[in-house]
Amino acid sequence: MYSKKVMKYFRHPRNMGEIKNADGIGKVGNPQCGDVLEVYIKVGKNKKGKEILKDIKVKTFGCIAALATSSVITEMVKGKTLNEALKISNMDIAKELGGLPPIKMHCSVLSAEGLRKAIEDYYKSKKKMN
């Protein structure tokens, strides 16, 4: 049912956990449906002065697909600019994992959404500060 890569990420999920003093937090999902995601980001700047994702961590309550997608997305976006990160779609995540069973596609939507919310949260708190 699941690709080898999905199982690899499920078995050894990367970047799981929280970031203390995160710059942005994205919470998505619904425990009733069986999946909840918290995405924590730390924002930095690259050489060109653009904002990048310096660090990212997730906490996931969910199935194999939820764990694997939320784990792989952290690797996909680390070091990327915020704009680049926002462009990552759930299809990209599924592709990166060698595909997902159709019934589990919504779990990948969640990861992309979680990241988007975390970045939005960052922008919001930045506005407040200015």
> What residues act catalytically?
33, 107
User: Does the footprint of ligand FES cover residue 107 (CB under 6 A)?
Assistant: yes
- Which residues ranging from 2 to 61 are in contact with another protein (CB under 8 A)? 10-11, 13, 16-17, 27-38, 58-61
Lookup result for tokens 């299809």: 91
From the list 71, 37, 42, the residue with the least C-alpha distance to 56 is 42
Residue 25 or 63: the one with the smaller Cβ distance to ligand FES is: 63
130 binds, among ligand FES, another protein, none (CB under 5 to 8 A by kind): none
Quick one: DSSP state of residue 12? Answer: S
CB 107 within 8 A of CB 65: yes
**Residues 8 to 37: which contact ligand FES by CB under 6 A?**
34-35
- Binding track over 76-105 against another protein, x by CB under 8 A: ---------------------------x--
Q: Closest by alpha carbon to 42, among 65, 63, 64, 17?
A: 17
How far is it, in rounded angstroms, from Cα 127 to Cα 130? 5
Instruction: List the single partner that 25 binds among ligand FES, another protein, none, CB under 5 to 8 Å by kind.
Output: none
The interface with ligand FES within residues 39-98 (CB under 6 A) comprises: 62-63, 65-66
Contact by Cβ (8 Å): 28, 13: no
